[in-house]
Amino acid sequence: MAPPVINDFTLAVATVNGSGSASSNTILAKTIFRMGVPVAPKNLFPSNIAGLPTWYLVRVSERGWQSRSGRREFTVAFNEATVAQDIKLVTPGGVLVIDEDLSASKAVGRDDITVFVVPMAAIAKDFGPDPRLRKLLANMVYVGVVAELLGLDMTVLEQTLADQFNGKAKVVKLNLDVVHAGVKYAREHFDKASCPFRVQSRQLTDGKILIEGNAATALGALVGGATVCAWYPITPSSSVCEGFIDLAKEYRVDKTTGEARFAQIQAEDELASIGLVMGAGWAGARAFTATAGPGISLMAELVGFGYYAEIPGVIVDVQRVGPSTGMPTRTQQSDIKSCYRLSHGDTEHIVLLPSGPQELYELTAQSFDIAERYQTPVFVLTDLDMGMNIWMADTFPLLTEPYDRGKVLDKEALKAVENFGRYKDVDGDGIPYRTLPGTHHPKAPYFTRGSGHTESASYTEDSDEYKVVLDRIKRKITGSTAHTPAPVITGEGDIGLIHFGSSSFAVDEARDVLAREGLRTRSCRLRALPLHAEVLEFVRSCRSIYVVEQNRDGQLTDIIRLAVPECITRIRSILEYGGMPMSATPVVQALSVGKREPAHV
């Protein structure tokens, strides 16, 4: 028998949503993480409350790869509705742990995998007379079986389970008893050596955390100084605002007076969410909303108003599959074009493109500085894969830089100003000065409008006066690259990969695979729009460029092609838009020697 594979496989649990498996899966992932082995969990769930298929994938990767592997070496089948497909998807040489109650357990029909049949319900039965409780406890049976087969450290698992249930002694004991029953069953009925996968303790997760992306975004908003949070519930963004509210309740409420140093409003719709953000931003508060594609569509008009009237605000877009309602619980990167150019007329917005939890935290915090510096709505573009999954990351630093409140003239500053023109380019950078409502100075008041206005904020229908302001805004937004995060460029060679957000994890892994095949690549990870000059240089310096993104039409590819028209034939897309978290496979396939399309140069 071949030696077992250590710390390199994907554990897949196929179950039904609403059945209570989330705790079990989290305990398994966290136990492995706490054993010092990197994990990348992905929850593939339906747009439904209970009763539909759901899969939880835990990629165990000693090398720390965070993207979906596309393989399922170790499957736990727990759902009658999907069992046939689940059996089929087990990677050859893999393992299937199957609930005895599933019809397929009698005849799995795969002789290339190792099968362990477990009477989950029968084992759980001894612990819960109540059928509902028993159902929940059955999830703990597989935790025990999997722990035994993979050789998980039981001390770590016990602690993780206790943490999961907040140390509630009775609940912890009951669940632990069931886990041990699962372990016992596996010990008595299976030969552990026949399981070809093992987890072995390492020290690769020291100083790291496991955090849901939306929680990292929420923390960014907290540390970034957001004081007004306006939102409308929508998958997959709701937990950004809910997370912010929880944090703000913890850190922003005066324990003695009850005073809250924030205001959150669950609005009647996204039109109101963005209206609240614009009103608050106009009056000087750091305000944000979080939404998904349908919300972005609704916000279009007021975002255009914010662009033209020059009002700061932050919009977090946790992208999901579109168009229309699309697939609300599946992931995509298909809002990049609409966010970049949202609203009628000529507009262009600053879009930040964080990749992974630490950037979700840092760039969300930074987005408030950028919004106030450039007096404009700023998008933080994330997605369901990053937002609703748990990711491994380095422990975040507490940001301590002072806030950049931008060019605000207060009463004192106005004394030194001869003529205050709200929309005048005083410094040559396209960024005007603003005053905040409530400023007690005769020069301060002005009238904000979305209709044509002059440099001094008065109404106009004059072509020249209109163009002066519109052209200045263009310069302002173009110049925002002075403060937005630069692309991260690495590697050598003349084949370039451009990517952002959740795609970047798959690209990193693909480049490693390709390098071992002998193909060196360069990588340009975008972190903001408008494009930085380095991106254009990158394109010009590569023989072939592949833009990797998760949408059908190559939206970022288009943006780049327009920016570097002389290189248009050298730029092509690698697209993945089926809604599953991106894996390295399509990138590897597109670039593997022999499969690569020749460059048109």
Rounded to a whole number of angstroms, the minimum distance from the CB of residue 273 to other proteins is 8
Rounded to a whole number of angstroms, the minimum distance from the CB of residue 152 to other proteins is 17
Of residues 22-41, those binding other proteins (CB under 8 A)? 34
Task: Report d(CA 244, CA 498) in Å as an integer.
Answer: 32
Of residues 305-324, those binding other proteins (CB under 8 A)? 305, 309
Rounded to a whole number of angstroms, the minimum distance from the CB of residue 349 to other proteins is 17
CA nearest to 229, candidates 171, 272, 185, 178: 272
CA nearest to 559, candidates 252, 262, 335, 234: 335
Rule CB under 8 A: choose which of 228, 360, 381, 498 binds other proteins. Answer: 228
Angle among Cα 503, 507, 508 to the nearest 5 degrees reads 120
Rounded to a whole number of angstroms, the minimum distance from the CB of residue 421 to other proteins is 15
Binding segment (CB under 8 A) for other proteins, from list 96-104, 300-308, 489-497, 562-570 = 300-308
Q: Is 482 in the site for other proteins (CB under 8 A)?
A: no
Let me know: does 35 contact 152? Beta carbons within 8 Å: yes
* CB of 301 or CB of 494, closer to other proteins: 301
Let me know: does 365 contact 218? Beta carbons within 8 Å: no
Rounded to a whole number of angstroms, the minimum distance from the CB of residue 172 to other proteins is 17
Task: Report d(CA 497, CA 570) in Å as an integer.
Answer: 12
**Could you write out the three-class secondary structure of 38-72?**
CEEEEEECCCCCCCCEEEEEEEEECCCCCCECCCC
Residue where the block lists tokens 């002075």: 482
Q: Is 210 in the site for other proteins (CB under 8 A)?
A: yes
Crossing angle of helices 131-150 and 154-164, in 10° steps, is 150
Task: Report d(CA 39, CA 28) in Å as an integer.
Answer: 10
**Could you write out the three-class secondary structure of 81-106?**
HHHHHHHHCCCCCCEEEEECCCHHHH
Binding segment (CB under 8 A) for other proteins, from list 53-61, 175-183, 274-282, 320-328 = 274-282
Of residues 332-361, those binding other proteins (CB under 8 A)? none
Q: Is 371 in the site for other proteins (CB under 8 A)?
A: no
Phi, psi for 156 (deg, rounded to 5): -65, -45
* DSSP designation for 140: H
Residue type, 5: V
Rounded to a whole number of angstroms, the minimum distance from the CB of residue 384 to other proteins is 20
For residue 517 the two structure tokens come to 């095949």
Spacing of C-alpha 494 from chain mean position: 30
Angle among Cα 100, 103, 105 to the nearest 5 degrees reads 45
Rule CB under 8 A: choose which of 144, 275, 322, 326 binds other proteins. Answer: 275
Rule CB under 8 A: choose which of 254, 412, 461, 566 binds other proteins. Answer: 254
Of residues 418-457, those binding other proteins (CB under 8 A)? 435-442, 444-451
Binding segment (CB under 8 A) for other proteins, from list 164-172, 182-190, 266-274, 511-519 = 266-274
Rounded to a whole number of angstroms, the minimum distance from the CB of residue 79 to other proteins is 30
Contacts of residue 283, Cβ cutoff 8 Å, sequence gap at least 6: 436, 437, 438
Rounded to a whole number of angstroms, the minimum distance from the CB of residue 581 to other proteins is 21
Count the site residues for other proteins by CB under 8 A: 73
* DSSP designation for 481: G
Binding segment (CB under 8 A) for other proteins, from list 172-180, 206-214, 315-323, 378-386 = 206-214
Rounded to a whole number of angstroms, the minimum distance from the CB of residue 139 to other proteins is 23
Q: Is 283 in the site for other proteins (CB under 8 A)?
A: yes
Residue where the block lists tokens 């930074």: 366
* CB of 272 or CB of 535, closer to other proteins: 272
Residue type, 317: D
Binding segment (CB under 8 A) for other proteins, from list 94-102, 258-266, 424-432, 542-550 = 258-266
Instruction: Write the binding mask 391 to 420 for other proteins: x where contact by CB under 8 A, - elsewhere.
Output: ----xx-xx--xx-----------------
* CB of 397 or CB of 578, closer to other proteins: 397
Rule CB under 8 A: choose which of 21, 25, 31, 227 binds other proteins. Answer: 227
